[in-house]
Amino acid sequence: MKKLNKIGLVALMLLSVLVIPEAGAKMYEFSVKAGINIGGTSPMGLPAEIRSINSYNPTLSFSLEGSVKRELTQKWGIMTGIRLETRAMETDAQVKNYQIRLLNDGKYIEGIFTGDVVTKVKNDYVTVPILAVYDISKRWDLKFGGFLSFLTRGDFSGTARNGYIREGNPLSQKLNVDATYDFSDDIRKFNAGLELGAEFVAYKHLSVYGDLTWSLTPIFPGDFTAISFKMYNVYMNLGFAYVF
């Protein structure tokens, strides 16, 4: 409840900057948006430990947003809002010498795994975008800026199969495993990064958009060691907006 109160306070402060009338203030534009997120939670660049991607499934991830735009000049404006969204994916990767912590036969083991790793990610966020808007024409807008996201529910779990783990170090004895892992409780509650997008006015009150969100903060904290590399949210949000 405290976290939700803080999110609401941040949103109200941002919205008040845009909505409180001022002398000579220009017009406001309110919209409701619905879309889907397509992308992944992954390292930046493919680490040497990941030898190949056997499969990738973006899964069905929805977003719903209420936003307000304030025009500053004929060409420039600012935009913010509140977005409820899910960022999700499923991958199956072949790995070698992959540092991981597993739950095997009721106990945790940590070491170097070689085999197949299936990962499922489904994280729900409340996101506040803070964007500059440039009107290319009456029908096209460019948007760029950043976003702040607050985790409301996290799921990062999977299985390690068709392989073996060397517990502790690469020279220890091989242990064949078909094990699970779940790092959901370790996901960082705060996520922030860059956002870049475009919006096209298709009809008087209806527009379509595409927004790329690229996180600069990894999803796990700095002291997290169950995976040896940092992972980031990179997602494209595609959808439509009703403009009031």
18, 80 contact by CB (below 8 A): yes
92, 120 contact by CB (below 8 A): no
Secondary structure letter of residue 170 according to DSSP: T
3-state secondary structure of 202: coil
pLDDT band at residue 21 under the 50/70/90 scheme: very low
d(CA 37, CA 12): 25
> In the prediction, which pLDDT does 24 show?
46
CATH class of residue range 2-243: mainly beta
Question: What is the per-residue pLDDT across 105-126, written as a single tens digit (0 to 9) for each?
Answer: 888 999 999 999 999 999 999 9
d(CA 69, CA 26): 10
d(CA 154, CA 87): 10
Q: Provide CB contacts within 8 A for 213, sequence distance 6+.
A: 127, 147, 193, 194, 195, 233, 234, 235, 236, 237
> In the prediction, which pLDDT does 10 show?
52
> In the prediction, which pLDDT does 26 show?
53
Domain ranges of the chain: 2-243
> In the prediction, which pLDDT does 228 show?
84
Lowest mean pLDDT among 56-70, 80-94, 98-112, 133-147: 98-112
d(CA 113, CA 49): 9
Q: What's this model's pTM, rounded to 2 decimal places?
A: 0.85
